Copies of this chain bind each other. A is one copy, B any other.
């Protein structure tokens, strides 16, 4: 690329084969570069949620579990997500939060490791992860380690490979780092872990809907992910989980339970029997009664990504995402030179997700606040990191151009030094 005028960005938009996907959204004024934290509102969602509330709940009431198909939503929406992450039908469940799904799946992964030890000389009692993994993953792993006698070993990203040995049960990684935007090569890392006899659990929070993912093709073992980021499912949307079919089969054979054995994961929930008997397949990972409101919103969000299928699918979205973030990096280097910003995200395309993180040792938080006041929404993470997400479904090249121009102006004038931009909010 290398653009020198705003008109060139407009020309790229005019030629963008994915431009029409933007029409799927109700977009407020401003430039939103935080879809990596909370995806935007699809145009269809408000009406669909209103339908669930006013008609399905309000009028049809309890009969909607059958009549409106509420009971099937967790697996139906799961099947749609499966198409975005290289999984098969019947393998993905939409339910609960990422943290809770991780608890279910990691608990099963650890029990499988314990089961492997029977009649074997090996003892794998380690979970290896990045110290900079998203904290909830580490907290949930820490809890399961306390319960099941495992050890959580954390390391910097470059040290992970060196830790993969005969002591490791599970390598647990988030494919795209939430802070740096760095992307793991799923196939290569999975192969490395398998060579050491470990299984791999991938958190796809910043991958699903953002980068092409091929769970089955890469030989991955387990996955969880988030519904409210690139899948546009809305705040606190249900999350998802996946297990390789070979592991799912072993749960039956070896009477391994996922620990959150709620009634809707029972083989016959409406028999109301006192003894738990897990449902066959992925349905055993359902726990309590799901929220049709939240699942309907997630369904609308996932549809906005699936709409790209006719235009080249995730591969086309990835091309645009990289072009957007390339433009951002290039424009920051040109427009904001000498302003103390450094690039945290790897510049190499193959090593980054759909997010670019910059670092500035002074004023990072305030710069983000000053940008928000100008209508350009990114966010901030310690230490000194300004995060910008590029969601190719609705973002235009001219938005990227304009966002960097705003950043330049905030820095040029030292606008961020204003006292009102220093105050920290409860949620950052």
Contact = CB atoms under 8 A, between A and B. Distances in A.
A290 interface: yes
A382 interface: yes
Nearest to A25: B58
A276 interface: yes
A275 interface: yes
Interface stretch (A215-223, A231-239, A324-332): A231-239
Contacts of A143: 257, 259-261, 276
Given A41-B54, A49-B53, A100 B382 contact: no
A209 to B, nearest CB: 17
Contacts of A292: 235-236
A34 interface: yes
A53 B381 CA distance: 26
A150 B147 CA distance: 14
A288 B427 contact: no
A97 B297 contact: no
A118 interface: no
A2 interface: no
B58 A53 contact: no
Interface stretch (A62-70, A85-93, A181-189, A413-421): A62-70
B261 A142 contact: yes
Interface in A238-278: 239, 257, 259-264, 266, 269-276
A37 interface: yes
A133 B275 CA distance: 11
Interface in A311-345: none
A257 B139 CA distance: 11
Q: Which of A40, A239, A262 has the most chain B CB atoms inside 10 A of its CB?
A: A262
A273 B179 CA distance: 12
A109 to B, nearest CB: 15
A228 interface: yes
